[in-house]
Copies of this chain bind each other. A is one copy, B any other.
Amino acid sequence: MNLEQLGSFVEVASLGNFTRAADKLHLAQPSLSRQISALELDLGAELFHRARSGSTLTTAGEALLPLARRMLADAASVRHELAELAGLGRGRVRLGATPTLCISLVAEVLSAFHAAHPAIELHLSEQGSRLLLDELAAGELDLALITTSDAAAAERFTVTPLLVEELVVISSIASPPVTPRATIALDEVAALPQIVFSSTYDLRRTTDAAFRAAGLTPDVVLEGAEMDALLRFVERGLGVAIVPAMVLIDRPGLRSVRLGGPALTRTISLARPADVAPTAAVEVMQHTIAATATAFAARAGTSMRRASIVR
């Protein structure tokens, strides 16, 4: 018996459906099935009546449910109490991140952090990597999530690589301009109607450089978009775009193809002031970011991987 199994059990009990519970738990359905059956084997009793009209609790399941809830509640209490003790009852974290990260990784980080420590004040600065580092140096930020092509910052800051992420080509799932395939070459992309980011994006520099290096001129139908707008345009079939794999998470309206040849990647790193000792709240935020990044990498499959040097 372990707490994850109990959590899974409670979720299935309240939803009455393995598949949906698995979704909610960010778990594949077979994994959930196995967790429950492991728990059943361990306890020596069936916990659910499996029927197509939903899974309902057996007598044993009903006996387990209240205690399972209490154990999970106790676990949450422990975290809460220790957080209070660590001085996380109040405090502030000022996080900076690039726009691409804000709608994906950062969203999850902040919601997880806020759920765990609701009393901590959160500030977010959405800027390009360059500006973020300036703010960090000026003491206006505690932490910054940046994309490090140039690791020139390593002098003044402690920079920890988190994720290495491929850039992929996205298109509408409704009217893809090309047939589905494993990879697409850069010159093929150049021939497709393309939507590109505003030139303030770090990403824009990377893709521009890649096309220029290949002697290609992309067929840009729309320029200057911010991330969210760009994704909507692509979803509507206005064109394709080159984006980090991460933004695809929870975007079912998009299809993606990996770039063939030398894959374009970006490294997402966490920067913090080298000299200042982090507060308790900031330290916990670092952990949250590291854990969330790992979870993203696991969920995204091969298009993203944990950077070798983690914390």
List chain A positions with a Cβ less than 8 A from chain B. Answer: 1-4, 43-45, 59-60, 63-64, 67-68, 70-71, 74-75, 77-79, 81-83, 85-86, 280, 283-284, 287
Q: List 28 A-B contacts (CB under 8 A).
A: A1-B78, A1-B79, A2-B4, A3-B3, A43-B78, A43-B79, A44-B82, A44-B86, A44-B280, A44-B284, A44-B287, A45-B82, A45-B85, A45-B86, A59-B85, A60-B82, A60-B86, A63-B81, A63-B82, A63-B85, A64-B78, A64-B81, A64-B82, A67-B74, A67-B77, A71-B71, A71-B74, A74-B74
- A85 and B284 CA atoms in complex are apart in Å by 43
Query: Distance in Å from the Cβ of A281 to the closest Cβ of chain B?
Result: 10
Asked whether, in the complex, the Cβ of A60 is within 8 Å of the Cβ of B43, the reply is no
Chain B nearest Cβ from A111, distance in angstroms = 19
Contact of B75 with A71 in the complex, beta carbons under 8 Å:
yes
* Complex partner residue of A44 from B59, B67, B283, CB under 8 angstroms: B283
In whole angstroms, what is the CA distance A82 to B60 when docked? 6
Other than the given A44-B82, A64-B82, 15 more pairs (CB < 8 A) read A1-B3, A1-B78, A2-B2, A2-B3, A43-B82, A44-B86, A44-B284, A44-B287, A63-B78, A63-B81, A64-B81, A68-B78, A70-B74, A71-B74, A71-B75
Please give the distance in Å from A43's CB to the nearest CB on chain B. 5
- Complex CA gap A1/B85 in Å reads 18
Cβ distance A46 to chain B, nearest Cβ, rounded Å: 10
